[in-house]
């Protein structure tokens, strides 16, 4: 059959467009985070892929003791810590390689607005952001995919010029009843 000196190369199975498990998992993520379409998910996957590629290259350079690689690793880790994607005690390439899609999706403005309770659903959070009802610090951010930095997280609130700044507005979330 084949020559034992030259074994056949095994190739990774090509990505097919109709993989049921992938489609189901993507749809679950779309629903959980209120994403508009799969293009938004693919952008997040691209961001994750970019950081993983950089980490793999740095890992190879660090093995040879390259001083520039250790500086670049510190810069990448500091950037990801500032964004809140990595924890404060992250210090190695393995921490970057362990990232997943959810760690980046949790830092989107849309998700944070929903998690803070400023909106009832992720879709409503998206609508509030696009319509200019949400501010970050002192500026209106109308991009739901905006990656919120760790220090900006507590500065997210309703726009004071928006009708939603009134606590009696019907679209605002009702306070939870205390059960006695």
> pLDDT digit string (tens) for 24-77?
999 999 999 999 999 999 999 999 999 999 999 999 898 888 889 999 999 999
Please write the tens of the pLDDT for every residue from 83-138. 999 988 888 899 999 999 999 999 999 999 999 999 999 999 999 999 999 999 99
Separation CA 110–CA 31 (nearest Å): 13
User: Hey, what are 91's tokens?
Assistant: 């210090």
Nearest to 36 by CA among 126, 105, 135: 126
Separation CA 106–CA 81 (nearest Å): 14
Question: From edge to edge, which strands make up the β-sheet containing 139-140?
Answer: 139-140, 134-136, 156-158
Q: Note the pTM of the prediction, 2 decimals.
A: 0.81
Please write the tens of the pLDDT for every residue from 46-59. 999 999 999 999 99
């Amino acid at each position: 059959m084949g020559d034992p000196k030259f074994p056949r190369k095994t190739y990774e199975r090509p990505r097919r467009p109709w993989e049921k498990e992938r489609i189901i998992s993507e749809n679950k993520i779309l629903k959980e985070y209120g994403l508009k379409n799969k293009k938004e998910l693919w952008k997040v996957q691209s961001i994750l892929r970019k950081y993983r590629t950089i980490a793999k290259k740095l890992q190879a350079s660090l093995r040879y003791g390259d001083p520039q690689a250790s500086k670049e690793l510190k810069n990448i880790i500091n950037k990801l810590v500032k964004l809140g994607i990595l924890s404060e005690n992250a210090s190695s390439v393995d921490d970057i390689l362990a990232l997943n899609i959810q760690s980046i999706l949790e830092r989107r403005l849309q998700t944070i607005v929903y998690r803070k309770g400023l909106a009832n659903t992720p879709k409503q959070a998206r609508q509030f952001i696009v319509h200019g009802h949400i501010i970050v610090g002192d500026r209106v951010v109308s991009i739901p995919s905006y990656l919120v930095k760790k220090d900006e997280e507590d500065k997210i609130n309703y726009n004071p010029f928006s009708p939603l700044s009134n606590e009696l507005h019907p679209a605002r979330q009702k306070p939870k009843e205390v059960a006695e």
